[in-house]
């Protein structure tokens, strides 16, 4: 009996199970298909690639950090690691998010350690194809090309008459102002 590493076993299970789902394997590899995590900030529907979102968590208990920026909600202990939690809406729009217990945070990898960004609502996996892509300027009603959003959104899609901006969490994590949470 040969030993397979656990990851190889799981990869094989996934490959075999996807082969039995009608229409799914060709959709996963379809050219021009974009896939990611959909969420809402304020009134804007956004999505980020799976590679930018390390994990999705419920809002953990926070400890306020004196002398930090208003958009820095605090620190949380997540499985023994201190994690900064940022109110993404307040960072982008200057308006504080109303906290509730069903809220989620997206864990984002950044140089020097992970950070979690608070979102208003999680929609889950979203897929868009090339025919749904629109110019960012064509969805001006959503303000994707306005203010701070313009720095992080360079592509948009329209799905079921709803505009979606593709938000770069990687670009956000590299932004000097975002990285400097001290007031």
Looking at the fold, whether 127 and 86 belong to one and the same domain comes out as yes
Looking at the fold, whether 83 and 13 belong to one and the same domain comes out as no
Q: What is the pLDDT of residue 26?
A: 45
Q: What is the pLDDT of residue 25?
A: 47
Looking at the fold, whether 44 and 122 belong to one and the same domain comes out as yes
91 pLDDT higher than 90: yes
Looking at the fold, whether 106 and 170 belong to one and the same domain comes out as yes
Q: What is the pTM of this model?
A: 0.79
Task: Say how far apart CA 154 and CA 152 lie, in whole Å.
Answer: 7
Looking at the fold, whether 65 and 140 belong to one and the same domain comes out as yes
Task: Say how far apart CA 144 and CA 157 lie, in whole Å.
Answer: 11
Number of domains in the chain: 2
Range of the domain at 21: 1-30
Looking at the fold, whether 43 and 106 belong to one and the same domain comes out as yes
Task: Say how far apart CA 73 and CA 87 lie, in whole Å.
Answer: 6
- Residue with the bigger pLDDT between 136 and 50: it is 50
Looking at the fold, whether 16 and 50 belong to one and the same domain comes out as no
Looking at the fold, whether 96 and 155 belong to one and the same domain comes out as yes
Looking at the fold, whether 111 and 152 belong to one and the same domain comes out as yes
The structure tokens 């208990």 sit at 61
Which CATH number fits the domain that encloses residue 85? 2.40.50.180
Looking at the fold, whether 104 and 25 belong to one and the same domain comes out as no
pLDDT digits (tens, 9 = 90+) for 70-84: 999 999 999 998 999
13 pLDDT higher than 80: no
Looking at the fold, whether 161 and 78 belong to one and the same domain comes out as yes
């Amino acid at each position: 009996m040969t030993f397979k590493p656990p990851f190889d076993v799981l990869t094989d299970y996934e490959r075999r199970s996807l082969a039995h789902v009608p229409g799914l394997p060709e959709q996963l590899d379809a050219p021009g298909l974009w896939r990611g995590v959909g969420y809402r900030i304020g009134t804007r529907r956004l999505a980020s690639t799976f590679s930018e979102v390390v994990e999705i968590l419920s809002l953990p208990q926070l400890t306020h950090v004196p002398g930090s920026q208003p958009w820095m909600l605090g620190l949380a202990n997540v499985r023994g690691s201190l994690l900064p939690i940022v109110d993404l809406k307040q960072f982008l729009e200057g308006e504080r998010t109303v906290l509730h217990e069903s809220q989620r945070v997206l864990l984002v990898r950044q140089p020097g350690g992970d950070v979690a960004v608070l979102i208003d609502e999680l929609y889950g996996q979203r897929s868009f194809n090339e025919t749904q892509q629109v110019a960012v300027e064509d969805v001006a009603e959503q303000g994707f090309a306005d203010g701070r959003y313009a720095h992080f959104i360079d592509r948009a899609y329209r799905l079921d008459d709803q505009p979606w901006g593709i938000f770069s969490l990687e670009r956000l994590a590299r932004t000097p102002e975002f990285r400097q949470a001290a007031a």
